[in-house]
Amino acid sequence: MNRQVENLIIGAGPAGLATAGRLRNAGIDFEVVEASDKIAVRWHHHYDRLHLHTVKQFSHLPHLEFPESYPLYVPRKELVEYFESYAQEFKISPHFNTEIKEISKSENGRWNVKTQTGDNLEATRVIVATGVNRVPNKPKFEGIESFNGNIIHSRAYKNADPYEGKKVLVVGMGNTGAELALDLSEHNIDITICVRSPISVVPRDLNGRSVQITSKQLAKLPFGLGDWLGSQIRKVYFGDLTKYGLESSKVHPAVQLRETGKTPIVDIGTIKAIKEGKIKVVPGIKLFDELGVAFTDDSHQLFDEVIMATGYRPHVEELVERGAELLDKYHCPKGAIGEGFHSGLYFIGFDNYKLGGILGTIFTDSQIILDHIKSI
């Protein structure tokens, strides 16, 4: 199959849906291709207890708010239902089971998009909405092949049931690692978390109020006063964490987010569980052996299961011709609108550098993309 389209959206997750919703509302034609057989497939398979850490009023897609009946922090199941209803509302009908293998520039300046079946689509504009969580990051630790226990990436984790009676190590204390460790501890699993670097942590709520809402207000204060106030609040709320094996980052969470795209840990109980001894903390990994793990403090422990909460990579450069030129030092596209050689390409779902979470940036970047398309 070889055919031409004007606007091609790659990916039917929230980023692709948001862009499609914007285009549909503006009366602009488009087509969507999706590698899987589902709308927002990642959200179908995330762990059971997952809720958004961002409040619902800042997390919906364009032109359709969440139902009033939804709680402040939307659960995974309800979020999937919302994404599916969004597709119905805006008549978004992806071509499912269509994986993209290559996006290259044709001689006429349009974009050739090759699928895994060998079909070719030629598009004037391509919106890449494959997201920051496309490919699991799996570090190669010394001796890991010799470990006799089970190792999975956090993407495969659903709930604590398979871990009953097991000794489990979670590697990495980002938001996912922190929440999986908490989930396991709440089911009385013997759980240890590997924390390899200083952490930046904020409470999800403070005195019954969302810290996200408070942070947006503090960000309006001049001279960095909001950052300073936030730091004082965190010191009082969490106290000194060094005696629990946790070193606090000296970089303010908002600054860390703006400069590195690394989201602070939004705490929903993990720190309390660590303080109570329900979650044990170990430093970085030195190596694996047949029965366990040696750590950088020269300790060694036996484990039955290891969960790698080590994040993801977008790997846009695998898909797009000269894709490496698009990337910042954290391997994400530098902006929503391709320039120069990459004019006609757009990137959404990659901006982790702003307050409000990825859904918030999807909302704003989809408008930026729409405005640029309309201006051409």
Question: Shortest CA distance to 349 belongs to which of 341, 286, 357?
Answer: 357
pLDDT digits (tens, 9 = 90+) for 189-199: 999 999 999 98
Which CATH number describes the domain made up of 2-134+314-375?
3.50.50.60
Q: Which of 43-52, 81-90, 167-176, 196-205 has the lowest mean pLDDT?
A: 196-205
pLDDT of residue 208: 81
pLDDT tier at 216 (50, 70, 90 boundaries)? Answer: low
pLDDT of residue 372: 98
pLDDT of residue 103: 97
Using the predicted structure, report yes or no on whether residue 225 has a pLDDT greater than 70: no
Interval 91-107 mean pLDDT? 96
Residue 118 burial (CB < 10 Å; 0-12/13-18/19+)? exposed
Interval 169-178 mean pLDDT? 96
- What ranges make up the beta strands (E) of the chain? 2-10, 31-33, 100-105, 111-115, 120-128, 135-136, 150-153, 167-171, 190-194, 201-203, 205-206, 209-210, 265-267, 279-282, 285-288, 292-295, 300-302, 305-308, 312-313, 345-347
Question: Shortest CA distance to 98 belongs to which of 8, 7, 4, 6?
Answer: 8
Sign of CA dihedral 210, 55, 257, 285: positive
Whether 206 and 245 have beta carbons less than 8 Å apart is answered as no
Average pLDDT over the chain reads 91
Whether 201 and 238 have beta carbons less than 8 Å apart is answered as yes
pLDDT of residue 238: 86
Question: Would you say domain 137-308 falls under CATH 3.40.50.720?
Answer: no
> What type of residue is 97?
N
pLDDT of residue 233: 62
Whether 155 and 376 have beta carbons less than 8 Å apart is answered as no
Q: Which of 53-57, 93-97, 227-231, 300-304 has the lowest mean pLDDT?
A: 227-231
The residue ranking higher by pLDDT, 331 or 216, is 331
pLDDT tier at 263 (50, 70, 90 boundaries)? Answer: confident
The residue ranking higher by pLDDT, 262 or 55, is 55
Tell me how far CA of residue 175 lies from CA of 146, 182, 207, 262, in angstroms: 29, 11, 21, 10
pLDDT of residue 235: 72
Q: Which of 3-7, 208-212, 301-305, 315-319 has the lowest mean pLDDT?
A: 208-212
pLDDT of residue 364: 95
pLDDT of residue 230: 59
Using the predicted structure, report yes or no on whether residue 123 has a pLDDT greater than 60: yes
Q: Is residue 279 classed as helix, strand or coil in its secondary structure?
A: strand
What residue spans in the chain does CATH classification 3.50.50.60 cover? 2-134+314-375, 137-308
pLDDT of residue 219: 60
Question: Shortest CA distance to 131 belongs to which of 11, 261, 39, 263?
Answer: 11
pTM: 0.91
pLDDT of residue 261: 65
pLDDT digits (tens, 9 = 90+) for 12-40: 999 999 999 999 999 999 999 999 999 99
pLDDT of residue 220: 61
Of these ranges, 247-251, 318-322, 328-332, the one predicted with the greatest mean pLDDT is 318-322
Using the predicted structure, report yes or no on whether residue 71 has a pLDDT greater than 60: yes
Q: Which of 77-86, 109-118, 193-202, 219-228 has the lowest mean pLDDT?
A: 219-228
Q: What is the per-residue DSSP string for 118-143? A: S-EEEEEEEEE---TTSEE-----TT
Using the predicted structure, report yes or no on whether residue 218 has a pLDDT greater than 60: no
Interval 182-195 mean pLDDT? 98
Q: Which of 171-185, 240-254, 314-328 has the lowest mean pLDDT?
A: 240-254
